[in-house]
Each structure stands twice: as C-alpha cells, then as structure tokens.
Chain A
Amino acid sequence: MTYFRSMLPMTSEEMVFEAVRKCLDDAGLDAGDVDAVVCGSAPDAFDGYHHKGLVAVEPSGAFAKPFSRVFVGGGTGVGVTISGWWHIASGLFDKVLVVAWEKMSHPYPHAQPLFRSIFEPILEQPLGPNLIWIFALEMRRYMERHRLDKELIARVAVKNKANAMDHPYAQLGAKITVDDVLKSPVLVWPVHRLDISPTSDGAVALLFASEHEAKKITDTPVWVDGVGACLDSQYWTNRDLSYPYYVYLAAQQAYKMAGITNPLKEIDVFEPYDPFTYKELHHLDALLGKPGLAPQLLKEGQLERDGDHPTSPSGGLLGVGNPIAAAGLMKVAELYWQLSGRAGKRQVPNAYVGVAQAWGDLMQVGQVVVCRA
C-alpha cells in the first residue's frame, strides 16, 4: 500500500502503480503472472472525469486481461475483495490482482459538496444537507437505544489513533485523550471533529491466488474463508438506524461459509469499518450479532490491541486515514498482515481468524470477509 495522506503529490495512476508494484514484489511475481485484475474506487466525481476505473488499467498491468471495476459505495474496499475471491473460486483464474485507490484531494477546495450529492434530490437536497447530518442522526439514535454517552464513544478515537501510531503508512496516528475529542469543535451534534476520519489519498493492492498457486508463492498464505454482502433499502428515513441489520445479515452469510457459530469466541481480530467513532461500535454490534455488546466490550477495555477482542489494531479509518475504497481494502490488508504474523509492532498475539467489514452508500451497504491463517 501507499502512504495515506491528505494530499499525495501523485496521480491516481502513480498511486495504483506503487501499491501494485509493492504487492507483486512481495509475492515475487510480475505483471505477466497475473490472470485478471479487479479494481475499486469511489464515485467518478472525486476525480472529475468519467469512467475513472480505466486509470488503473496501465499501472496494474491489466491491459489485454480481464479487468473489472467494483463499486458499492464506501463498501467498495471489501467489495473488491469479495469479487477477487469470486474470480478465483469460479476456477477461471489462478492469480487475481485486487487494487483499490482513492484520490480525494482533487476536488477543490474540498470534497464535501460531492458527498452532499448522495442525498435524494427532490425531498432531501432542498433542505440544504451536508454529509455529516446522516451520521449525527444515526449516532443519536444509537446512543439513545443503548443509553451511551459521548465519553465512552470518544474512546474509539483515542484507541484507533493510538493504534495507528504503529502503522507505517498512517495519516493520523496520535496520542489523544477523551477530553481532546470532546473539546474539539462540534460540527453536527453529537459529532465532533475528532469523531470523524479524514479525507485521504492512497492506494492498496492485494494478490489473490488459488490454493495450489498460493502455496508456491508463500509459506504463510492467508485464506478467505467466508464472504457476505447485503444491501438495505435506500428509503433510509423509513428504517431504524440504531442497528445495521444489513451488516448482521452479511456477517451471517460469511460466518456460515466459514463455519463460525460464535464470532466473539472464534474470531481473534476484528476490523469493522470506522469512518466515525460510533460506527466501529455500531458495526461490531452487528458483526457479533448482539446489539449493545460492543460498547460494553469497549468499556471493559477488551477492544484494545492487547485486549481479548482486538478491534481495529491497524488504527482503522480514524487513524490510518480514509481514502474511501482503499480504506476498506486496507482493513483486509491488515488481516493479511495480522494472520500471517507480519504486522510488526501492531501484531496481535495468536491471531488465526479475522473479520473485516466495510459499509457505505446511504447507510445501507454491508460487506464482510472472514480470513483464516
């Protein structure tokens, strides 16, 4: 992967190239060894030109090969992973390169007006919304249901930014306190500035291989054991936002494939999607299938890297950064590093099974992948 930064002095092509080159070098392969390429990136509007998926063709060595772009909003990072797995599982391909990138520094002066355009144009846009509204609305509903206070939720930012201090590519690793979060400016209450992940540039690449090829490439392969995807209705004002049921359903699909019946006991590393502080808890609730459990684990300190249920040991989107599609794939890459024992200072002891999840669109996409060492 490349560095995640608020602005990288590279084009999308150059970022993709860097991530792909590192990935292939690590595997000891060259572009000619790859059978197909799956790429992922968020809306074209960030780059300001259409069919931007094509910028990944050359830098990933994809010309004259099957090439596809996957797009499921913010869930794209894990969506490309699932697509990469399909390619291999279908038996058609032996080695598939999966790459996701985002360059959010193009829109000037900020990407925020583009985010706003996800609102429905006739009934919602006239109210003059900004993206943070929906998160604040969802967060408030979640706090109400489980009687949570801001102090507890702020600990997610403290934990993740501290974890990111050990991530060599992180944008916002920092030692902060709960007080810092609470005293940062209120944007849309209950969301404060430090509750939010940054906009970022960055790219991540992973190589997927069939069983016999994987064993030739490395002694420590990490296997995709289960995948799941689910989408909820876009009429989000008709839904109860306090529990992401769609993430629960996606997780159940993945667990069924992986033979997992008790996720809390059987999974060693969790990488839920954390673009906002409460989101990590919200999603972890659904990954565990128990509404309200995640905040309790957080309170007991079990979500720390040295706790019983390490969550976002990478530093997550809050710490490492949030180049939309690349952020989701960064979480899968973290599973690879953790489960193959290559996570360095971030290493969680005895990590054999991990789950990564990404989320997106108008509070409706759940994408889940379970990996095993």
Chain B
Amino acid sequence: MTSRIIYTHDYLQQLPQAFRQHLLKNGLNKEYGKDWEDILNKEYSETWRVENLVLSHWKILCRYAHTPGEALAEFLVGLREGRLLGTRCSGCGRVLIPPRLFCEWCLREVSDWVEHSGEAFVSTYSLAYIGTDPGVRLAEPNIVAVLWFKDTVKETPSSKTVLHAAGLMHMIRECRPEDVRIGMRVKPVWRPVEQRRGSILDISHFKPAGE
C-alpha cells in the first residue's frame, strides 16, 4: 500500500464505470492527483467541463437567535448598566466570568453574584492583520487579547501553573501594537450609556491602565 498503486489497469476495473471513463477519457489516470489548478488547464470533453462538474451551488439561509440563558442574561444586563458581573462558587471559591449557573469543578449550582471592577491584565494577545473575512487585510492590526481579571487567578503554589482565571477575549485599543505585553494591566472602556444595548460590545475595548 505504500507504493503508488493508484490506477493500474486492475485498479481502474474496480472503480465505478462513470468515474473510470472520466479518468480514461481525459488522461487523468496518469495525471490524477495533481492539484486542481493543473487539471483545470486540461482540455476536457464536453460533459466533463468544469462548469458541468460543479453541479450545484446553494446557500443555507438560516439565522439564529441564541438564547443567552439566565446567567448570561444577567451578565448582559450588567454590561448595559456599566457593571461587570460574575458568579462565585461557594465550593471552590472561583470567580466565574463568563458567568454560569453551575460550577463545572464542583458540579453544583452557583447563585452568588459578584461585581468586578474590570481591572485586568493581559494573559495573551495577538495582532490580527486580517479581518473577520480572512481575505481582507487591515492597514492597522487589531489587538486581540485574552484578559484575566484582577484577583481571580488560581494557580498551583509550586509550579505557578494557572488553573483558573476569570477572563474574557476582547480587543485592546489606545495602545501601539508594539507596546502590548503579556502581564500588562488594562481596564475597560465603556460605551456611552445611550449606545449600550446589553452586549459584550458595551465594553468598547480595553486600554492600558497606566501605572
């Protein structure tokens, strides 16, 4: 099986007839497997022209209205009021942001809500030179970061491995890309009240907190 056994005479005999004929007629039994661009340059018989090969196009037109659920709804309402909310598990003591109504470590219900100041530091970051559509190149990169909130980090005492930290992914602005550092302190910049609509984007971005 390691050798190139493809499309020996015997092998072709086993292929479905239509497929076999297609390969033989177009000389693809020798060429087959090269990249598609090469194949495009081949002369095709009428029935196997590329236009005929691509038989159907369709779009799936479907929109979703995701239910935020109890915990996230509370969180989003908090954002609209300019407050960053999380839950706290009474078992392991973790602050949970994004908030949830259960603790996955203790597998118990969580009902204590806490408000966090929003002060955070950069866990990791990257510079996105492409847009949401990867075909779009950005003149100035977006700074994308995972932010860990102050005083929520739980780590193993010996190896300093972080086991948990309340954290969100968000953008950093008001900072030059070359100045971002892991561990840098940041704080949220809220949108003006009238523009808030109960969305993660009610926090416009995070900016360096300065010293």
B77 within 8 A of A: no
Which of B3, B128, B147, B199 meets A130, CB within 8 Å?
A: B128
Separation in Å of the B54 CB from the closest CB of chain A? 9
Separation in Å of the B97 CB from the closest CB of chain A? 8
Separation in Å of the B106 CB from the closest CB of chain A? 13
Separation in Å of the A114 CB from the closest CB of chain B? 10
B126 within 8 A of A: yes
A10, A105, A112: most-surrounded residue (chain B CB, <10 A): A112
B46 within 8 A of A: no
Q: For window 91-146 of chain A, which residues contact chain B by CB distance below 8 Å?
A: 105, 108, 110, 112-113, 116, 120-124, 126-130, 132-133, 136-141, 144
A188 within 8 A of B: yes
Q: For window 144-168 of chain B, which residues contact chain A by CB distance below 8 Å?
A: 144-147, 161-168
List chain B residues, Cβ under 8 A from A130: 128, 130-134
Question: Is the CB–CB distance between A337 and B2 below 8 Å?
Answer: yes
Question: Is the CB–CB distance between B166 and A238 below 8 Å?
Answer: yes
With the chains together, A178 CA to B162 CA distance in Å?
32
Question: Is the CB–CB distance between A3 and B125 below 8 Å?
Answer: no
Separation in Å of the B34 CB from the closest CB of chain A? 8
With the chains together, A141 CA to B167 CA distance in Å?
15
Question: Is the CB–CB distance between B68 and A124 below 8 Å?
Answer: no
With the chains together, A319 CA to B119 CA distance in Å?
43
Known A-B contacts A5-B36, A108-B57, A122-B68; A342 and B161 likewise in contact (beta carbons under 8 Å): no
B169 within 8 A of A: yes
List chain A residues, Cβ under 8 A from B146: 137, 141, 237, 241
Known A-B contacts A5-B35, A126-B200, A344-B2; A235 and B98 likewise in contact (beta carbons under 8 Å): yes
Question: Is the CB–CB distance between A342 and B2 below 8 Å?
Answer: yes
List chain A residues, Cβ under 8 A from B98: 120, 123, 235, 237
A286 within 8 A of B: no
With the chains together, A132 CA to B130 CA distance in Å?
9
Known A-B contacts A141-B182, A144-B124, A343-B2; A9 and B39 likewise in contact (beta carbons under 8 Å): yes
Known A-B contacts A23-B1, A123-B98, A190-B126; A110 and B169 likewise in contact (beta carbons under 8 Å): no
B6, B134, B168: most-surrounded residue (chain A CB, <10 A): B134
A52 within 8 A of B: no
Separation in Å of the B44 CB from the closest CB of chain A? 11
A55 within 8 A of B: no
Question: Is the CB–CB distance between B132 and A116 below 8 Å?
Answer: yes
A-B contact count (CB 8 A): 161
Question: Is the CB–CB distance between A137 and B126 below 8 Å?
Answer: yes
Contact with A along B58-85 (1 / 0, CB 8 A): 1010001010100010001000000000
Question: Is the CB–CB distance between A138 and B124 below 8 Å?
Answer: yes
With the chains together, A344 CA to B68 CA distance in Å?
54
Which of B14, B35, B68, B127 meets A188, CB within 8 Å?
A: B127
B123 within 8 A of A: yes
List chain B residues, Cβ under 8 A from A22: 1, 5
Separation in Å of the A24 CB from the closest CB of chain B? 10
Question: Is the CB–CB distance between B144 and A136 below 8 Å?
Answer: yes
Which of B72, B124, B163 meets A140, CB within 8 Å?
A: B124
Contact with A along B99-136 (1 / 0, CB 8 A): 01000100000000000000000011111111111110
A359 within 8 A of B: no
With the chains together, A187 CA to B131 CA distance in Å?
9
Question: Is the CB–CB distance between B132 and A188 below 8 Å?
Answer: no
B171 within 8 A of A: yes
List chain B residues, Cβ under 8 A from A235: 98, 100, 104
Separation in Å of the B88 CB from the closest CB of chain A? 14
Separation in Å of the A258 CB from the closest CB of chain B? 25
Residue in B closest to A240 when the chains form the complex, CB atoms: B162
Known A-B contacts A123-B200, A141-B182; A5 and B2 likewise in contact (beta carbons under 8 Å): no
With the chains together, A5 CA to B141 CA distance in Å?
32
List chain B residues, Cβ under 8 A from A171: 35
Question: Is the CB–CB distance between A189 and B35 below 8 Å?
Answer: no
Separation in Å of the A177 CB from the closest CB of chain B? 22
Question: Is the CB–CB distance between A128 and B132 below 8 Å?
Answer: yes
With the chains together, A128 CA to B182 CA distance in Å?
22
Question: Is the CB–CB distance between B132 and A187 below 8 Å?
Answer: no
B53 within 8 A of A: yes
Question: Is the CB–CB distance between B126 and A26 below 8 Å?
Answer: no
B170 within 8 A of A: yes
Question: Is the CB–CB distance between A189 and B127 below 8 Å?
Answer: yes
Separation in Å of the A20 CB from the closest CB of chain B? 11
Ranked 4 nearest A-B pairs via Cβ: A136-B126, A141-B124, A240-B162, A189-B127
16 contacts between A and B (CB under 8 A): A6-B35, A6-B36, A122-B72, A129-B144, A133-B128, A136-B126, A136-B144, A137-B145, A137-B169, A144-B182, A168-B2, A168-B3, A168-B4, A171-B35, A233-B104, A237-B146
Given contact pairs A127-B169, A130-B134, A342-B1, a sample of 19 additional A-B residue pairs in the complex whose CB atoms are under 8 Å apart: A7-B35, A9-B28, A14-B16, A25-B5, A48-B60, A112-B133, A121-B66, A122-B66, A122-B76, A123-B72, A123-B98, A126-B201, A133-B126, A137-B124, A140-B125, A141-B124, A144-B182, A187-B128, A241-B146
| Residues in A lying within 8 Å of B, measured CB to CB | 3, 5-10, 14, 17-18, 21-23, 25-26, 48, 105, 108, 110, 112-113, 116, 120-124, 126-130, 132-133, 136-141, 144, 168-169, 171, 185-191, 233, 235, 237-241, 243, 337, 342-344
